[in-house]
């Protein structure tokens, strides 16, 4: 009886250690992924390479590039190429973000708006990370609903790209903040509960959520807080 209890405790200890390792590696890679993102945004703003990517052209480039990279990351996540491919993806996302960054920098208080959006995104992440550690119930059922919400949100964003409605952008941005904040909680809880064992996949999910929260916050701040010269 005692041997069975000791074996169970030992197995639980190993399991917990593995989960902590995945969580730690995910945090480290997520922090590292911010560097190529910033570099990509800087290159985009400095060169103006994405300035012409508007309307249908910009949408196609973004969707093809993003889904192509996501497919490549999932294919290489168990190999040595996984991390470089993920970092290349974050550079691409920074490049795609540079058009909005450049527009916000056109405001007199553009730099302040960007820092506010960054701080708000960090606040959302730390709040969801704290919540994930204290929630004891199983929230795995959220996944399918959040996925449906994200797909509908993407469809709405594509439609609004052609309609160019300010009201539509505000609604989409608010919904995106809510949905992707919930995704952060869901993804972190999966790691903590042992449902996600690959830190590259875990980082990809968290990065996409943080990217969308930041982009949405920046969009709202630009609409409501941008100051013209």
**All residues at 6 or more sequence positions from 23 whose CB lies less than 8 Å from its CB, including other chains:** 188, 191, 192
CB 46 within 8 A of CB 99: no
- Residue 42 pLDDT: 95
Alpha carbons 6 and 216: distance in angstroms, whole number: 50
| Token pair for 186 | 């869901």
Helices (H), the chain: 2-47, 55-76, 82-105, 110-134, 142-163, 166-193, 199-225
Alpha carbons 124 and 129: distance in angstroms, whole number: 8
Mean pLDDT computed over 53-64: 78
| Token pair for 220 | 């709202």
Mean pLDDT computed over 34-43: 96
Alpha carbons 74 and 131: distance in angstroms, whole number: 28
**All residues at 6 or more sequence positions from 80 whose CB lies less than 8 Å from its CB, including other chains:** none
- pLDDT score of 10 more than 50: no
Mean pLDDT computed over 93-112: 92
pTM value > 0.85: yes
- pLDDT score of 7 more than 50: no
Domain that holds residue 98: 2-225
How many CB atoms neighbour CB 112 within 10 A? 14
Percent of the chain's residues with pLDDT above 70 = 92
- Please give the residue that has the higher pLDDT: either 128 or 19: 128
Domain count, the chain: 1
pLDDT band at 131 (very low <50, low <70, confident <90, very high): very high
Supply the Cα-derived Rg of the chain in whole angstroms: 19
Percent of the chain's residues with pLDDT above 90 = 65
């Amino acid at each position: 009886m005692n041997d069975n209890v000791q074996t169970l405790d030992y197995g639980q200890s190993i399991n917990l250690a593995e989960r902590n390792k995945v969580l730690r590696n995910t945090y480290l890679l997520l922090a590292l992924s911010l560097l190529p993102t910033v570099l990509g945004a800087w290159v985009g703003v400095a060169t103006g390479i994405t300035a012409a990517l508007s309307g249908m052209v910009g949408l196609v480039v973004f969707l093809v590039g993003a889904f192509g990279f996501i497919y490549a990351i999932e294919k290489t996540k168990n190999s040595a190429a996984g991390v470089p491919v993920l970092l290349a993806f974050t550079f691409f996302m920074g490049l795609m973000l540079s058009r909005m960054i450049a527009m916000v920098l056109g405001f007199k208080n553009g730099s302040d708006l960007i820092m506010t959006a960054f701080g708000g995104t960090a606040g959302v992440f730390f709040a969801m990370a704290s919540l994930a550690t204290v929630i004891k119930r199983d929230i795995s059922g959220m996944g399918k609903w959040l996925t449906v919400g994200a797909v509908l949100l993407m469809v709405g964003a594509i439609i609004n790209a052609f309609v160019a409605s300010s009201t539509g952008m505000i609604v989409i941005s608010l919904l995106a903040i809510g949905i992707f904040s919930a995704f952060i909680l869901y993804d972190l809880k999966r790691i903590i509960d042992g449902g996600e064992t690959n830190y590259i996949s875990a980082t990809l999910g968290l990065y996409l959520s943080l990217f969308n929260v930041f982009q949405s916050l920046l969009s709202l701040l630009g609409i409501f807080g941008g100051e013209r010269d």
